[in-house]
């Protein structure tokens, strides 16, 4: 049995000192929330150090360092919750935020009432080996020189380039999670990405090509980036697309390339397998567990374990260890991605998928590294099986509706004629609906690969990985001219 206790702390307001020295204050806050009547209390503390740099042509045009610290406090009563965030990390500031969250649910503060709370467990520190990550990352000057090298390489390999742009982003995050089930976990995270973009133009011809590369947990990532091969790859694509003909609209089979081709599965299907969509009643797969929703060639996985992948995490933002979740096995829906609120409201067990952009958001069920698993064919097998179709080597942007309707632009595409790649084409858009397209994925190649991405949803923008091998879709609507 525990009672609420208020103890002044020597480190009051010192957020940098993550560790056992926060134990008394966090237990006091949890006791206060439980005494007021909350079924569950969770406290998420965060400290960040971020950097963004943009180079246009051969000039650094933007340097954007940013720092933040704060707390998000969430309380539950049954399936209802109240959430408040604050950047005042003093004892009084945290108490005020907690009381506001409690007030949302109509609770009154009863500080003398005894409640059942066994205390926090021993600290699980997943950041022990990561303490030097930030100091090992390149600084502003070194990062600027590196991305300027990228724009110079674009100028070397490219022709008719009216825009040459390179960008670098670094996100360093330290978190501490404590909750009334005893969770007491700390972690340090590092995500870095670099992007190259070009716009080529000659008379009435235009082509726009971009690539982004990213990793997690590797302070040397930018230093190891091969700007020469990246620039050559982009400029080769730009040259082919500049004079490409526009694709004709119609219904055809397509082959989607690996890596970022997986963005369609992520957007059109992955979000429908998050419990946030079940809570909204917008997922067409809500009652389809253990039923076939895709071709038997499709196995889909979400996990946070792949070393260095952009969406990998040691723990989620609710303090749960990361794990592998099979979403679809051989075409059969096996489960959903769930956070704590999702488990309470839908009954689907937590999967270590509670994620948020920062302390100002409550965690929600979100994807990590999400991909279609490798199959038994080669990419050539897929192309050879098509008489008249489209090969989508690189995907661009798109949009997705609430129930999985999507349209995505094809950044780099080629016609398939009699089982062979032929002319480059541009202006293609893939249009469809998840529940209709999944059964049409008839072949998966053996070349699974992943690509870094950013995902926006109810709990903000987070780092994710999309991926797949080359896949064949038997029929899809292609928008064009």
Q: Are residues 97 and 222 in the same domain?
A: no
Residue 411 falls inside a structural domain: yes
Q: Tell whether the model's pLDDT for residue 2 goes beyond 60.
A: no
Are 192 and 254 in a shared domain? no
- Residue 37 forms part of a structural domain: yes
Give the model confidence (pLDDT) of 45-55 as tens digits.
Answer: 999 999 999 99
> What pLDDT, on a 0 to 100 scale, did the predictor assign at position 1?
35
The per-residue pLDDT for 17 is 62
> Is 60 exceeded by the pLDDT of residue 150?
yes
Q: What is the pLDDT of residues 380-406, one digit of tens each?
A: 999 999 999 999 999 988 889 889 999
Asked if residue 338 and residue 268 are part of one domain, the reply reads: yes
pLDDT tens, 172-210? 999 999 999 999 999 999 999 999 999 999 999 999 999
Inside any domain, residue 435:
yes
Q: What is the pLDDT of residues 238-252, one digit of tens each?
A: 999 999 999 999 999
The domain of 380 spans 250-479
Residues 372, 323 within the same domain: yes
Q: Please, are residues 389 and 253 in contact by the beta-carbon 8 Å criterion?
A: yes
In a domain, 4, yes or no: no
Is 29 a residue whose pLDDT tops 80? Answer: yes
* Number of domains comprising the chain: 3
CA distances from 350 to 345, 368, 440, 456, 463 (A): 11, 14, 30, 21, 20
Read off the pLDDT of each residue in 406-430 and give the average, rounded to a whole number: 96
Q: How far is CA 60 from CA 3, 54, 155, 222, 307, in A?
A: 56, 6, 16, 16, 32
Q: Is residue 14 part of a domain?
A: no
Indicate whether 254 and 162 sit together in one domain: no
CA dist 409 and 412 (Å) reads 9
Sign of the torsion angle spanned by Cα atoms 230, 231, 237, 238:
positive
Query: Average pLDDT, stretch 433-452?
Result: 96
Q: How many Cα neighbours within 13 Å face the side chain of 146? A: 23
What are the pLDDT digits (tens) for 109-121?
A: 876 667 778 899 9
- Domain end: 244, 263, 296, which one? 244
Is pLDDT at 438 greater than 90 in this prediction? yes
Average of pLDDT values for 445-468? 96
Sign of CA dihedral 445, 454, 273, 356: positive
Same domain, yes or no, for 303 and 402? yes
Q: List the CATH number of the domain containing 196.
A: 3.30.2290.10
Which pLDDT tens digit goes with each residue over 338-373?
A: 999 999 999 999 999 999 999 999 999 999 999 999
Average pLDDT, the chain: 94
Query: 324 and 231 share a domain?
Result: no
Q: 10 lies in a domain?
A: no
The predicted-structure confidence for 58-101, as pLDDT tens digits, reads as follows 999 999 999 999 999 999 999 999 999 999 999 999 999 999 99
% of the chain at pLDDT higher than 70? 96
pLDDT over 60 at 148, yes or no: yes
Q: How far apart are the first and last CA of the chain?
A: 71
> Do residues 456 and 358 both lie within one domain?
yes
229 and 322 housed in the same domain: no
- Classify residue 15: in a domain, yes or no: no
Give the integer Cα–Cα distance in Å for 361 and 356: 6
- Among the three residues 244, 270, 288, which one is the final residue of a domain in this structure? 244
Clarify whether residues 230 and 320 are in a common domain.
no
480 pLDDT more than 80: yes
Q: Is the pLDDT of residue 12 over 90?
A: no
Q: Is 1 part of any domain?
A: no
Beta bridge partners of 315: 321
Asked if residue 5 has pLDDT above 90, the reply is no
Q: Residue 11 above 50 pLDDT? A: no
Q: What pLDDT score was predicted for residue 292?
A: 98
* pLDDT the model gives residue 399: 86
Q: Residue 89 has which token pair?
A: 């990390």
382 sits in the region (left: phi over 0; alpha: psi -120 to 50; else beta) called alpha
Two structure tokens written together for 112: 């003398």
What pLDDT was estimated at residue 18? 77
Residue 274 pLDDT level (bands cut at 50, 70, 90): very high
Q: Do 192 and 307 lie in a common domain?
A: no
**Which of the listed residues 218, 244, 270 is the one where a domain comes to its end?**
244
Output the pLDDT for position 112.
65
Report CA-CA distances (Å) from 451 to 9, 86, 212, 263, 431: 45, 34, 8, 9, 22
Residues 350 and 420 in one domain: yes
| Cα–Cα distance, 359 to 86 (Å, whole number) | 8
pLDDT at 4: 36
Q: Which helix (H) or strand (E) holds 267?
A: helix 263-268
DSSP state string for 105-162: TT----TT--B----PPSPEETTGGGTTHHHHS--HHHHHHHHHHHHHHHHHH-SSEE
């Amino acid at each position: 049995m525990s009672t609420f206790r208020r103890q002044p702390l020597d480190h009051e307001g010192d957020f940098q000192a993550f560790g056992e020295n926060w134990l008394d204050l966090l237990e006091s806050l949890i006791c206060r929330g439980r005494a007021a009547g909350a079924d569950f209390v969770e406290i998420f503390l965060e400290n960040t150090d971020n950097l963004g740099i943009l180079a246009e042509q051969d000039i650094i045009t933007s340097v954007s360092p940013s720092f933040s610290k704060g707390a998000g406090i969430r309380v539950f009563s049954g399936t209802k919750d109240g959430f408040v965030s604050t950047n005042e990390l003093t004892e009084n500031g945290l108490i005020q935020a907690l009381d506001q969250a409690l007030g949302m649910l109509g609770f009154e503060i009863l500080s003398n009432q005894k409640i059942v709370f066994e205390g926090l467990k021993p600290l699980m520190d997943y950041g022990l080996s990561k303490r030097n990550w930030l100091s090992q990352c390149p600084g502003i000057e070194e990062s600027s020189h590196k991305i300027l090298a990228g724009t110079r390489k674009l100028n070397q390999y490219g022709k008719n380039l009216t825009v040459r742009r390179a960008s670098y982003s670094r996100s360093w995050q330290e978190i501490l999670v404590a909750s009334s089930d005893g969770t007491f976990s700390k972690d340090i995270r590092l995500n870095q990405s670099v992007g190259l973009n070009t716009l080529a133009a000659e008379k009435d011809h235009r082509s726009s090509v971009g690539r982004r590369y990213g990793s997690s947990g590797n302070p040397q990532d930018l230093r190891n980036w091969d700007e020469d091969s990246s620039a050559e790859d982009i400029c080769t694509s730009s040259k082919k697309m500049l004079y490409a003909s526009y694709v004709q609209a119609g219904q055809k089979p397509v082959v989607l390339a690996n890596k970022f081709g997986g963005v369609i599965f992520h957007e059109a299907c992955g979000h429908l397998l998050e419990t946030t969509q079940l809570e909204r009643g917008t997922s067409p797969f809500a009652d389809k567990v253990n039923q076939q929703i895709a071709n038997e060639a499709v196995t889909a996985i979400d996990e946070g374990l792949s070393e260095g992948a952009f969406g990998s995490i040691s723990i989620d933002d609710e303090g749960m260890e990361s794990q592998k979740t099979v979403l679809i096995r051989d075409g059969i829906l096996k489960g959903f991605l769930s956070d704590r609120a999702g488990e309470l409201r839908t009954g689907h067990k937590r999967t270590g998928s509670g994620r948020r952009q920062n302390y100002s958001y409550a965690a929600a069920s979100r994807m990590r590294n999400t991909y279609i698993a490798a199959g038994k064919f080669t990419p050539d097998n897929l192309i050879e099986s098509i008489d008249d179709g489209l090969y989508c080597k690189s995907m661009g942007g798109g949009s997705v509706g609430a129930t999985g309707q999507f349209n995505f632009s094809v950044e780099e595409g080629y016609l398939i004629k009699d089982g062979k790649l032929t002319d480059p084409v541009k202006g293609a858009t893939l249009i469809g609906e998840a529940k209709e397209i999944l059964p049409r994925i008839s072949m998966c190649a053996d070349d699974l690969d992943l690509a870094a991405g950013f995902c926006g949803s109810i709990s903000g923008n987070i780092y994710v990985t999309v991926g797949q091998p080359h896949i064949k879709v038997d029929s899809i609507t292609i928008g064009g001219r």
